[in-house]
A and B are shown apart, each in its own frame.
Chain A
Amino acid sequence: MTRDVSHDQLMRFMDGELPPAERQQVSDALKGSAELKRQLVLFEAMKRDLQELSFTPVHAGDSVWNQVTVRITRPVGWVIFLAGALVWIVYGAWVYFTSSIDMWEKLATGAVVTGLVTLLATVIWERYKVWLTDPYKGVHR
């Protein structure tokens, strides 16, 4: 760069970010330096071409809001559901252990609950094992 004009000044000049006094200084320097002028012409050509790359997505109407709202509200739904489920489980367990019903009724109810939990656990475990080896797990829809 020339003695009077730094790289930063040249960039600011080109991008319209220089105060008027400094702008005049760079303009004067450009008149006296063919090398500086050549640099400016080159950078301006690249700038113009890059600006022509500016684009708008063809499907600009497809908002991401639907996906975003699902992702920000779903955790709230899960928290409420789990909190309610926890209350029911604790209450159910308390009723189960303190009720005066016959032993066979307790055993039958216990078997149904244990069976359901076991089935759910095996499904989750299988899905987890498939997920571990899924070659497409990093691919987003």
Chain B
Amino acid sequence: MQGYKNMLDAYTQAGGTPEIFKDSNIAHLVVHKNKVIGSHLVKGLILEPQETANGVDIKLTVEKGIKIENPVHLCFGVLPKEGIQEINIKAKIEDGAEIKMLAHCVFPNAIKVVHKMSADIEVGNNAFFEYTEVHFHGSTGGAEVIAKAKMRVGKNSRLITNFSLLKGRVGILEIDYDSEIQDNSILEMTAKVYGYGDDKIKIRETGRLIGKSSRGLIKSRVAVKENAQSEVISEINATAPEARGHVDCIEVVQGNALARAIPIVNVTNEFAQVTHEAAIGRVDKKQIETLMARGLEQEEAIDLVIRGMLR
């Protein structure tokens, strides 16, 4: 019971609202290390967690035509200073189904915590899946997060992923999301990370537009300061006619930090089009001056610009 309460405290610190765990209309799953310490289901959602030696395997299905009204809340965490958590998710969003999932991953005391997430997600035809993952790490930079996802999206569907790590030190972060998009479907992938200290950030997001008239947007916003390092690889491959994609990457660098942005655009169909924009630099001088002319100190102005960009 104390473990559950501690998880909820960490979840609240991460920006979550613990009241949702009491709402019978909202499905949830709370996992601490390799223990499922809370769960609730709603009609049409099948959620089967299986505890393993180092984590939990989760099988999730949204049945055909079912629209889950409220976002499903997931909370994964490791509260001690050290530990490992491996989460394997196999999700199937069947034809015509719709679901939004909001995952909070909390490692508030991490000195040596490893969190590995591997997801295999299948979104059917005429379906909708939105997955938002919000991380809250402590101030010590002792977390290592390795997140991999393979996603396949059917026809006339929509897949949205949002990843954000804005509170606490990143530590080490490696994201590798890969998606395959069929006819008339839409992909939107967004990652927002703020790194400092000696954080190391590697983000690779790939969208494969293999269906006719498929659409893809990969957007990343990364800020690094002090001695942090970031590398963002955003890739869109358009192989189908009338496929349209756009890569939008902005990285802000301060102090001794190092940022790399690598947009990759591959088009192998003459009727497809992919555009990209990538910018790395300091915060725009005019933005800083504008905010300083309202009375902010330079550091406050820079912070406000970055927080806005990462919002």
Partners in one complex: no
